[in-house]
Amino acid sequence: MEQSNRSALEGLDPRAVLEQLERVLESSLFRNSKRYPAMLRYVVEHTLDGKTRVLKERTVAVEVFGRSPDYDPSTDPVVRISAAEVRRRLAQYYQEAAHASEIRIDLPVGSYVPEFQPAPARLPDVLPEEPLPAPLPRRSQTWILPATALAGIVGLAIVWMVWRGRPSELDDFWAPVVVLRGDVLVCVGVAGVPARSAQTESTGAGRRAQITWPDTLTMARLTGFLQAKGAAVQFCREDQATFSDFQVMPAVLIGGLNDEWALRLMENMRFQFQRDGPIFWIADRDHPESRDWRIEVPDISDAGRLPLKRDYAVVSRVHNPRTGRITVTVAGLWGTGTIAGGKFLTEAAYLREAAKKLPAGWQKRNLQFVLGTEVIEGNPGPPQVLASAVW
């Protein structure tokens, strides 16, 4: 057995760990899945057998998920995404009080070698009795009024602190995404607008595997925001993402007409992107004749600058019925719109103002916002909410 394995099992019987593994796999968090139990069983059993050196991404992909020996993790992140979901489900399992006294199995971030912790020592069922303190001598009741006043002041201070500490509208928006402080997938579109209408199939012509500067800025802004809330951010490019990536964790999609996943998600929503030659616009299903939220994109050189005066974006948060996960979209008609959308989702003042016009209970419902922003010398101004939909 390897040294690291002896350390991991110090004080533990491997048979007890295997019994705990079976308890975990029989739980509702694992028993209805094939992928995650297979991965957890593989890494635990190999660790107990002292074979931790083979627990590499490529080996797991081949032996657990049936990938070919020439598996390329940069184009198929199935192992990383599955590991993230296993970690999340293990964390949920041990959050339940019924499992607090069991051996703990963890899969550290950045590793496929599990760690094991002994069950915590149980406290005695009956605590030893201690003699009761002698009763205090009776005192004058003159202290009651000052004490009552002090209690009232303290109570008001507590109410004030609770009010000050209550979640903001921005916290409410992101709560379904970061509620478990687990993994969040950030998927970014690649440069080059597809030569197509938003309703037709893309040929991929004109696409370049590069991330635009506005999308990079928005990705950095959102990543810092999510990490500050305790989320572990995973990254992928839109052209490398697979449908299964969005089935294992909440996702944030950055980009508009350059992000196929964002376009697919918006197909059944009220606000959608449309294109007719150089004219891009946000279509409103309730007012299909309107093209008020539009920009014109003439042919420009790589060194040129689009002379926009206004830009528009769609920001959404939906429970995606196709993936079963929450998906947030930040999508501008042009890059300046995407930057404005990123500001809207990371600065509390904007959602605080927008929430005043939302119906009660919006915090737990699907949302879409249409944003507009003034563009000055290529830089977006503050985002303004032009329309919203809640369902």
CA atoms 72, 78, 84, 87: torsion sign: negative
Predicted confidence (pLDDT) at residue 194 exceeds the cutoff of 60? no
Predicted confidence (pLDDT) at residue 208 exceeds the cutoff of 70? no
**How wide is the angle at C-alpha 386 spanned by C-alphas 381 and 387, nearest 5°?**
145
The least confident of 303-312, 327-336, 375-384 is 303-312
**pLDDT at res. 146:** 53
**pLDDT at res. 183:** 85
Name which residue leads in pLDDT, 215 or 123. 215
Q: Rounded to whole angstroms, how far apart are CA atoms 66 and 60?
A: 9
pLDDT classification of 88: cutoffs 50, 70, 90? confident
Mean pLDDT highest for which of 76-90, 199-213, 225-239, 281-295?
Answer: 281-295
Give the 3-state secondary structure of residue 158: helix
**pLDDT at res. 153:** 55
Question: b/e for 44-53, b at 16 or more Cβ within 10 A?
Answer: bebbbeebbe
Predicted confidence (pLDDT) at residue 125 exceeds the cutoff of 80? no
Cβ(273)–Cβ(261) below 8 Å: no
**pLDDT at res. 209:** 59
Q: The tokens 């008001």 sit on which residue?
A: 156
**pLDDT at res. 387:** 96
- Determine the average pLDDT of the residues in 98-110: 88
Region at 66 (left for phi over 0; alpha for psi -120 to 50; beta for the rest): left
Cβ(181)–Cβ(226) below 8 Å: no
Q: Rounded to whole angstroms, how far apart are CA atoms 77 and 74?
A: 6
**pLDDT at res. 198:** 40
**pLDDT at res. 152:** 55
Q: What percent of the chain has pLDDT over 90?
A: 44
Average pLDDT over the chain, rounded to an integer: 81
Predicted confidence (pLDDT) at residue 304 exceeds the cutoff of 60? no
**What are the distances in angstroms from CA 37 to CA 117, 246, 299?**
20, 19, 52
Beta bridge partners, 376, equal 379
- Determine the average pLDDT of the residues in 36-52: 94
**pLDDT at res. 193:** 46
Closest Cα to residue 27, out of 118, 93, 107, 116?
93
pLDDT classification of 384: cutoffs 50, 70, 90? very high
Q: The tokens 């081949």 sit on which residue?
A: 62
Q: What tokens does 176 get?
A: 């379904």
Q: How many CB atoms lie within 10 A of CB 107?
A: 22
Q: What percent of the chain has pLDDT over 70?
A: 79
Predicted confidence (pLDDT) at residue 79 exceeds the cutoff of 80? yes
SS3 assignment for 183-239: EEEEEECCCCCCCCCCCCCCCCCCCCCCCCHHHHHHHHHHHHHHHHCCCEEEEEEHH
Cβ(186)–Cβ(178) below 8 Å: no
Predicted confidence (pLDDT) at residue 221 exceeds the cutoff of 60? yes
- Determine the average pLDDT of the residues in 299-327: 80
Name which residue leads in pLDDT, 258 or 139. 258
Residue type, 320: N
**pLDDT at res. 277:** 87
CA atoms 167, 172, 176, 182: torsion sign: negative
Predicted confidence (pLDDT) at residue 159 exceeds the cutoff of 70? no
**pLDDT at res. 201:** 37
Predicted confidence (pLDDT) at residue 357 exceeds the cutoff of 60? yes
Cite the DSSP H helix spans in the chain: 3-8, 14-25, 35-48, 57-63, 78-95, 144-165, 169-178, 213-228, 260-266, 335-344, 348-355
